[in-house]
């Protein structure tokens, strides 16, 4: 353990950080990555602690997945001048971490004693999920924490795993450890209790986190959000490429009208940008899935207002967005490198280039065609006009959504196949009207849509669900948009001029 001078005041953040560095050297880096364990630096820990609003009086603090106690130490450092008592409960499964956790808490205890703050600590070397579920199921359960600070593990959990079964016992469904930890911590908080957490941004949208967003937004007021401008900022010493956010909640409080959003280049940034956003811009009332849009400045708020205020849903337009039906490895025997007799075009992401379809591609890594037979009949769609997008984009790509039009003259066939890593827009299973498809192409390729999509989506995937939750121009507007462009090349400026003319 690290030795420090007994002269005070101690800087608990520095003590915890020294323990973090030493513990990291003893832990297997690959194993930590596999378990989703990334410890908070002193700067990140301080950022979380500074988000708490009420630090005077008595505190019953939960730190689940405590690591070496960095977050608890930061909270004590923040609150020691105002608190009367701190009762700390830390959950940590790693025996190596627990050695350093005990050392960090020893200094927290000493610091509290020097500042006349009553200190009590409990370290629980058990699975937090299983322990919390058992606690919540107890007939005599009464919330015992008024503060929670979390840097939970980031790891998917199996639909048939122990954790999922346990969570269902308390009416909670989620597929990642981090949302499980935060959701259970919310349930363990008393009314008026505050929670601050740093997690991936992925919970802000998508169907996999619907239950978690419902729990968070129904149970708490979402008050503050902090975003990092770089994917490397939060856990740069661990080389984690993850879009993380920090957020502050108050349980049982009516939702405040404004959300404070801060953004910075890194946790050490002395001058973060601060922006207050109306809550209805963060969680749009037109979105039944209650996606959370992170808006960091006035320009982004204008984007949210423009895109969120469009008149139509896809359902209003009689259009659907679906994932391509062909999973290539499940029908390998029917794949064909070249377009041959008895085959039809099979459109992969490789065929979507610069807003158009390039097919076939010679010497491509992926097949160009799918054999048409009774085994593949249910994987096809009627040949016609469709708008397609990639489901996956590389992090270095400038745009998340790039739309391409598939037209029936690409090949003289009755049906066509779209591969599973594409999304396609269709008219309830049938081809789109060509003029509507042209306008939809213009709209989806606009900078407005790209900026709006990035507000609600912290990752590089573009799922069909994401496309369904966008708002769209009406049919007449789409047709007019399509008439205003010549399709002789991808011209971003012209696309944006067309969209701006309709605002």
Task: Look up the CATH number of the domain holding residue 412.
Answer: 3.90.220.20
Would residue 192 count as lying in a domain? Answer: yes
Would residue 111 count as lying in a domain? Answer: yes
- Of 103-117, 361-375, 454-468, the poorest mean pLDDT is in 454-468
What confidence score (pLDDT) does residue 317 get?
97
Beta pairing class for 356-357 and 352-353 = antiparallel
Would residue 399 count as lying in a domain? Answer: yes
- Of 136-140, 273-277, 307-311, the poorest mean pLDDT is in 307-311
Where do the H-state alpha helices sit in 255-382? 279-282, 298-308, 314-317
Judgement on whether residues 199 and 328 belong to the same structural domain of the protein: no
pLDDT of residue 270 exceeding 50: yes
Average pLDDT of 145-151?
97
pLDDT of residue 280 exceeding 70: yes
Backbone angle region of 96, left / alpha / beta, with phi > 0 → left and psi within -120 to 50 → alpha: alpha
Q: Which of 460, 465, 471, 472 is nearest to 205 (CA)?
A: 465
**Residue 28 binned pLDDT confidence (cut-offs 50, 70, 90):** low
Tokens of 133: 């579920």
Average pLDDT of 347-357?
93
Judgement on whether residues 272 and 319 belong to the same structural domain of the protein: no
pLDDT of residue 248 exceeding 50: yes
Judgement on whether residues 326 and 448 belong to the same structural domain of the protein: yes
Tokens of 438: 């042209």
**Residue 308 binned pLDDT confidence (cut-offs 50, 70, 90):** confident
Would residue 3 count as lying in a domain? Answer: no
Helix (H, G, I), strand (E, B) or coil at 52: coil
Looking at 281, 301, 336, the residue that finishes a domain is 281
Judgement on whether residues 242 and 326 belong to the same structural domain of the protein: no
| pTM score, whole prediction | 0.82
Element (H, E) at 373: none
pLDDT of residue 2 exceeding 60: no
* Other CB atoms within 10 A of residue 409 CB: 7
Percent of the chain scoring above 70 in pLDDT? 92
Average pLDDT of 190-217?
93
Judgement on whether residues 256 and 324 belong to the same structural domain of the protein: no
Judgement on whether residues 199 and 318 belong to the same structural domain of the protein: no
Q: How far apart are CA 380 and CA 439, in angstroms?
A: 25
Q: How far apart are CA 399 and CA 396, in angstroms?
A: 9
Would residue 1 count as lying in a domain? Answer: no
Q: How far apart are CA 96 and CA 128, in angstroms?
A: 17
Q: Of residues 32 and 26, which shows the higher confidence score?
A: 26
Distance of CA 216 to the CA centre of its chain: 14
Q: What is the CA radius of gyration of the chain?
A: 26
Place of tokens 């050490």: 268
DSSP class of residue 49 equals: H
- Of 11-15, 235-239, 254-258, 437-441, the poorest mean pLDDT is in 235-239
Judgement on whether residues 263 and 324 belong to the same structural domain of the protein: no
Judgement on whether residues 90 and 215 belong to the same structural domain of the protein: yes
* Other CB atoms within 10 A of residue 375 CB: 11
Judgement on whether residues 149 and 275 belong to the same structural domain of the protein: yes
pLDDT of residue 498 exceeding 70: yes
Judgement on whether residues 271 and 341 belong to the same structural domain of the protein: no
Q: Which domain holds residue 425?
A: 314-500
Average pLDDT of 330-340?
95
Here the CATH number for the domain that contains residue 228 is 3.40.50.150
Judgement on whether residues 265 and 351 belong to the same structural domain of the protein: no
Query: Which among 249-263, 278-292, 447-461 has the top mean pLDDT?
Result: 249-263
* Phi, psi values for residue 180, rounded to 5°: -65, -45
Would residue 451 count as lying in a domain? Answer: yes
- Of 274-288, 374-388, 456-470, 475-489, the poorest mean pLDDT is in 456-470
Would residue 293 count as lying in a domain? Answer: no
Work out how many domains the chain is built from and give that number: 2
Q: Of residues 46 and 456, which shows the higher confidence score?
A: 46
Judgement on whether residues 59 and 121 belong to the same structural domain of the protein: yes
Tokens of 503: 């605002």
Would residue 287 count as lying in a domain? Answer: no
* Other CB atoms within 10 A of residue 254 CB: 7
Query: Which among 203-212, 295-304, 377-386, 394-403 has the top mean pLDDT?
Result: 377-386
- Mean per-residue pLDDT over the chain, rounded: 90
DSSP class of residue 354 equals: T
């Amino acid at each position: 353990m690290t030795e420090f001078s007994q002269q005070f005041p101690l800087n608990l953040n520095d003590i915890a950080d020294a323990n973090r560095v030493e513990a990291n050297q003893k832990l297997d880096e690959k194993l930590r990555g596999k378990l989703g364990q990334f410890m908070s630096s002193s700067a990140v820990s301080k950022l979380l602690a500074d988000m708490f609003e009420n630090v005077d009086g008595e505190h019953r603090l939960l730190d689940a997945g405590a690591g070496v106690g960095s977050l608890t130490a930061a909270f004590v450092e923040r609150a020691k001048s105002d608190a009367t008592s701190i009762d700390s409960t830390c959950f940590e499964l790693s025996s190596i971490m627990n050695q350093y956790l005990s050392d960090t808490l020893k200094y927290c205890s000493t610091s509290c004693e020097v500042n006349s703050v009553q200190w009590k600590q409990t370290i629980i070397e058990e699975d937090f999920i299983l322990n919390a579920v058992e606690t919540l199921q107890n007939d005599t359960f009464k919330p015992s924490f008024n503060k929670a600070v979390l840097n939970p593990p980031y790891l998917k959990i199996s639909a048939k795993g122990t954790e999922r079964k346990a969570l269902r016992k308390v009416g909670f469904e989620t597929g990642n450890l981090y949302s499980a930890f935060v959701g259970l911590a919310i349930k363990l908080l008393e009314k008026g209790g505050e929670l601050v957490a740093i997690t991936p941004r992925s919970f802000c949208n998508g169907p996999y986190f619907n239950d978690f967003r419902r729990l968070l937004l129904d149970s708490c007021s979402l008050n503050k959000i902090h975003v990092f401008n770089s994917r490397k900022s939060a856990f740069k010493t661990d080389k984690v490429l993850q879009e993380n956010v920090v957020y502050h909640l108050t349980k049982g409080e009516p939702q405040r009208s404004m959300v404070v959003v801060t953004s910075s280049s890194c946790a050490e940034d002395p001058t973060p940008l601060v922006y207050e956003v109306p809550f209805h811009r963060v969680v749009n009332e037109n979105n039944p899935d209650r996606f959370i849009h992170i808006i960091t400045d006035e320009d982004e708020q204008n984007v949210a207002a423009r895109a969120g205020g469009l008149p139509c849903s896809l359902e209003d337009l009689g259009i659907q967005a679906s994932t391509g039906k062909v999973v290539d490895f499940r029908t390998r025997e029917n794949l064909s490198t070249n377009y041959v007799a008895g085959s039809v075009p099979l459109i992969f992401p490789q065929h979507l280039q610069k807003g158009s379809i390039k097919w076939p591609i010679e010497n491509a890594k992926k097949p160009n065609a799918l054999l048409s037979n009774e085994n593949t009949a249910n994987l096809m769609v009627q040949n016609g006009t469709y708008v397609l997008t990639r489901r996956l984009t590389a992090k270095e790509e400038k745009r998340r959504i790039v739309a391409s039009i598939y037209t029936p003259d690409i090949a003289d066939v009755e049906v066509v196949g779209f591969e599973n890593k594409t999304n396609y827009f269709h008219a309830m299973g049938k081809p789109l009207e060509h003029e509507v498809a042209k306008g939809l192409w213009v709209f989806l390729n606009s900078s407005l849509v790209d900026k709006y999509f990035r507000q609600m989506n912290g990752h590089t995937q573009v799922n069909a669900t994401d496309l369904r939750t966008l708002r769209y121009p009406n049919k007449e507007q789409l047709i007019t948009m399509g008439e205003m462009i010549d399709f002789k090349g991808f011209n971003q400026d012209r696309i944006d001029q067309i969209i701006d003319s309709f605002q």
